[in-house]
Amino acid sequence: MNRADLHTHTTASDGLHKPADNVRMAAEAGLAAIGITDHDTVAGLDEARVAGRAYGIEIVPGVEISTAMDGQDIHILGYYANDRDPVFLARLASQRRVRDSRNELIVARLNELGVPLTWEDVLDAAGRDRGPDETVGRPHIAEALLRMGTVGTLQEAFDRYLAEGKPAYVLPPRIVPAEAIAWIHEAGGAAVVAHPGLYGADAAVEALLAAGGADGVEVYHSDHSAEDERRYAAMAERHGVLATGGSDFHGARKGRIYHGPIGWRTADAAVVAALRKRTSDRRTGADRKALDE
C-alpha cells in the first residue's frame, strides 16, 4: 500500500491523541505517510518527526488555518511550510490570539444563556498540560459542557449551542482564504482548500480555485460522499490543482465527534511527492536544505 492520510489532528489542537500516537497508528494501518494538520499551530510537528523516524513512516508537516469568506468558515491546509520561519510562526500566533478571544466570547455567550461554564472548566477539558503554542477549540468547549452534564453528547453541544447559527456560535474576525494561502506560500509551503463538502458553498470554493492561489483541494475526506468526491475531483481537474485526501482524524471516544479513523480517507503517495515538488520549487538555499532534513 502506498497511501497517505494528509489530514489528522493531535493534542496540539483538538485531537485526543499525542502526535507520536497518530504516527504509530498510521504505521500500523500500513500507510506510507501521515500529515499532521493541527488548527493554527505547528506545535505537534517535532514530536511527529521523531516518531516518524522510530516507526519508519514519512511525516508530511502541516497546519490547518482558520479563515472565512463572506461569513463562511473556510479551512486552508498548509503542507511543508517552514515551521522555523519566524514570520510564519508570528502569523500563526496571531491566529491563536483571535481564537482565544473567540473562545472567551463563546463562554460569555453561554453564561448569558444561563449555562454557568467557566474558562477554567474549558481548560480542564482541554488538558492542563497544554503548551503555549497549542490551541483550544470548540470541541474542548463541547467536552466541558458534557462534563457539566449540560449536554449528553458532544454532538448535542454543537447542535444546541456551538454550531454555526446556534446561540453560542461566534464568528471572530478572520483572515480571508487568500491571505492564509499567501502565508503558506511565503513560508515555502503548498496550500490546499480543506473539506469543501462541509461548506455548502461550492461556488465560493470554485471561485477560490479559479483565483489561482491554491495548490490543491481536499477531494477525499471522511465527511464527503461518493458524489462529493466526484464533484471535487472534477473541480480539481478543471483548475489544474492537486486532489488531496485525509481522514481529519481527531481521536476516538464514545460520543465524540470524530470524522474518521486514521487511513479512512487517503491520497496516493504520488500526491505527496507532487506537494513536495511544488514546495521545493518555491524554496531556495538554506530554506530548501531545511526541507530535506
- Binds 257: which of ligand AMP, Fe ion, Zn ion, none (CB < 5-8 Å by kind): ligand AMP
Per the CB < 8 A criterion, the answer to whether 215 and 192 are in contact is: yes
Displacement of CA 127 from its chain's centroid (Å): 19
Residues 113-152 that bind ligand AMP (CB under 6 A): 137-139
| Cα 260 from Cα 7, distance rounded (Å) | 10
Nearest to 275 by CA among 75, 19, 78: 78
Residues 238-267 that bind ligand AMP (CB under 6 A): 250, 257
Please, which residue, 185 or 221, has the CB nearer to ligand AMP?
A: 221
Which part of the chain contacts Fe ion (CB under 5 A), choosing from 69-77, 96-104, 130-138, 145-153? Answer: 69-77
Q: How much is the CA Rg of the chain, to the nearest whole Å?
A: 18
> Which pairs with CB-CB distance under 8 Å and at least 24 residues apart come from 83-91?
83/42, 83/45, 83/187, 84/290, 85/187, 85/188, 87/186, 87/187, 88/183, 88/186, 88/187, 89/42, 91/183
User: Which DSSP symbol is given to 8?
Assistant: B
Q: Is 241 helix (H, G, I), strand (E, B) or coil?
A: coil
- Binds 158: which of ligand AMP, Zn ion, Fe ion, none (CB < 5-8 Å by kind): ligand AMP
40 binds Zn ion (CB under 5 A): no
- Binds 278: which of Zn ion, ligand AMP, Fe ion, none (CB < 5-8 Å by kind): none
Please, which residue, 135 or 279, has the CB nearer to ligand AMP?
A: 135
CB of 139 to ligand AMP, least distance (A): 5
- Binds 185: which of ligand AMP, Fe ion, Zn ion, none (CB < 5-8 Å by kind): none
Cell numbers linked to 47: 514530536
221 binds ligand AMP (CB under 6 A): no
75 binds Fe ion (CB under 5 A): yes
Cell numbers linked to 213: 492561489
Please, which residue, 24 or 39, has the CB nearer to ligand AMP?
A: 39
x/- contact string, 10-49, with ligand AMP (CB under 6 A)? -----------------------------x----------
| Cα 259 from Cα 247, distance rounded (Å) | 7
Q: Which residues of this protein are in contact with Zn ion, per CB under 5 A? A: 9, 14
Q: Which residues of this protein are in contact with ligand AMP, per CB under 6 A? A: 39, 66, 137-139, 155, 158, 163, 250, 257
